[in-house]
Amino acid sequence: MVIGFLGGTGPEGRGLALRFALAGEKVIIGSRDKQRAGEAAASVAELAPPDSVTGGLNDEVAFASEVVFVAVPYGGHRATLDSLRELLEGKVVVDVVAPLEFKRGRASALRVDHGSAALEAQAVLPNSTVVAAFQNVSAEDLLEPESSIESDVIVCADDEDAKSMVIGLANAINGIRGVDGGGLQNARYVEDFTAMLLNINRIYKAHSTIRIVGI
Ligand SMILES: NC(=O)c1ccc[n+]([C@@H]2O[C@H](COP(=O)([O-])OP(=O)(O)OC[C@H]3O[C@@H](n4cnc5c(N)ncnc54)[C@H](OP(=O)(O)O)[C@@H]3O)[C@@H](O)[C@H]2O)c1
């Protein structure tokens, strides 16, 4: 499978791309700038299997990928998706965005149109299948390929096949378990909880994540 990353030059996109490349997938790192895409792809490729990582402009990534991850900051989320709407038609779009703001070092969840970044993405991309996942996984942990990430990834989507596929991708990362989080309307709870984790990180000087027990 070819998996693309819009905003893939950032730590979250590079981290996920690295983990999926290590799991045997082909990945394409996307950027608004060709040179930045190439540099980020080269840095991920150093740690990944041969010929598994390339880079390109975001529109090239949207065109060439079967599954497209959205890994831009919330401030660029709507405009990025708007500009790629036609290229993303018929594709699975995985939204990892958590809309947050920071005041004096403290994180809080933003109230956004449609209730969540994922629902906003689905409204902007009516002919794509949006899946929400990975909002609670730290990029720093993803970028350490030797380490197992003891975490659950809650996957929310209205399309059961797309959701199963993304749960499979989550399970392919060392230590991660994909958990069915129900429909896309539940993504807001996962996005919002990222703010709680970042505040816990600040208190404990750690990279916290989530584990669901009892299932
Ligand atoms: N960092 C984490 O630990 C983490 C964990 C879970 C979820 N997330 C989510 O993942 C997303 C990416 O996180 P990140 O830390 O990797 O973000 P980031 O480094 O701030 O941004 C990622 C990339 O997005 C592109 N970008 C920046 N501003 C943009 C804009 N206005 N419009 C379009 N593209 C823009 C940039 O790439 P180019 O300049 O190369 O285009 C940048 O390298 C965020 O929405 C975040 O909520 C992050």
Q: Which residues contact 185 (CB under 8 A, 6 or more apart)?
A: 115, 116, 119, 156
Band the pLDDT of 46: cuts 50, 70, 90.
Answer: very high
Whole-structure pTM value: 0.98
Has residue 148 been placed in a domain? yes
123: its two tokens: 């409204």
- Report the share of the chain in percent with pLDDT over 70: 100
Has residue 214 been placed in a domain? no
Has residue 213 been placed in a domain? no
Nearest atom within ligand 1 for CA of residue 12: 16
Please give the Cα distance from 96 to 167 (Å, whole number).
Answer: 13
Which residues sit with their C-beta closer than 6 Å to ligand 1?
7, 9-13, 31-33, 36, 71-76, 80, 96-98, 135, 137-139
User: Containing domain of residue 167, as a range?
Assistant: 2-204
The domain spanning residue 165 has which CATH number?
A: 3.40.50.720
Band the pLDDT of 51: cuts 50, 70, 90.
Answer: very high
Has residue 92 been placed in a domain? yes
Has residue 209 been placed in a domain? no
**Distance, CA 32 to ligand 1 centroid (Å)?**
12
- Report the share of the chain in percent with pLDDT over 90: 98
pLDDT in tens, 125-183: 999 999 999 999 999 999 999 989 999 999 999 999 999 999 999 999 999 999 999 99
pLDDT in tens, 87-134: 999 999 999 999 999 999 899 999 999 999 999 999 999 999 999 999
* Number of independent structural domains in the chain: 1
Please give the Cα distance from 162 to 153 (Å, whole number).
Answer: 15
The pLDDT of residue 143 is 96
Alpha helices in the chain (DSSP H): 11-22, 34-45, 58-64, 77-83, 117-124, 139-142, 160-171, 187-204
Which residue's alpha carbon is at the smallest distance from atom 31 of ligand 1? 76
